[in-house]
Amino acid sequence: MRSEDVRRHVTTPLTSPAFAPTVPRFTDREYLNVVYRTDPEALRAVVPEPLRIDDPLVRFEVMKMGDVSGYGPYTEAGQAIPVGFEGERGEYLHAMYLDNFPATASGREVSAYPKVMGSPALRVDTGALVGTLDHGAQRVATATMGYKHHELDRAEAAAQITVPTFMLKTVPGYDGLPRVQELVRTRITDLTVKEAWTGPARLQLFQHVLAPLADLPVLEVVSASHILTDLTLAGVEPVHDYLKGALS
């Protein structure tokens, strides 16, 4: 294989990439969102500068992907933290667990999503929408919400999930030091909200050394939503270079 051919490949392994070379389109992406208040000191310990924290809130989400081009259906769960950056409000993606390896590899290699493998699920059980996350055989999160109790304004639902998203991209060098270390930004585009609901909710987080969601403890549930969408994820752009100490 010639050098110019090698340069055209951007995935590993070279000739059998772990994910499809496509921009995924999400059809029937279903959200369970539970926003809760947590310990502000715990938040400050995990949110990198120059992002700012105002209210000590966390959004626990479970997303059931009905169909995704290039990956197929899968489910994902994680934590997003409301933050500010240069006057813009957004969310910092703190943790993401999913049951699809191509989507995990693509999210980490192409973008900067903090994805690792896990076993999330979203289902309806006796009048409640139930979202769970397991790590191996151990339960680490259980969220419950009243199933379709009250309709949520679709514009409000769209505003909840289309805020800018910030992530930390780190690529290690062979000397053990970071070769790339950037704060990057992306957001959802081409969004259609098909259904949106709200209602009462509860959230339990359980201690696990390899899935430390409970390090951001639940002090109070603030709100919850259940949203069904079609959408596309935009590419990422760097907004801060930690190795240069300046904006990109």
- Active-site positions read 115
Token pair 């079609």 in the structure block, residue: 230
The CA–CA distances, whole Å, from 195 to 35, 89, 151, 230 equal: 19, 25, 8, 10
Nearest Cα to Cα of residue 133 among 205, 40, 73: 205
Token pair 């120059």 in the structure block, residue: 50
Amino acid at 90: G
Nearest Cα to Cα of residue 184 among 117, 100, 113, 106: 113
Q: What whole-number distance in Å separates Cα of residue 248 and Cα of residue 243? A: 11
CB count within 10 Å of CB 163 equals: 17
The dihedrals phi and psi of 183, each to the nearest 5 degrees, come to -90, 125
Q: Contact, 210 vs 135, CB < 8 A?
A: yes
CB count within 10 Å of CB 93 equals: 22
Cα three-residue angle 125-117-96, rounded to 5 degrees: 75
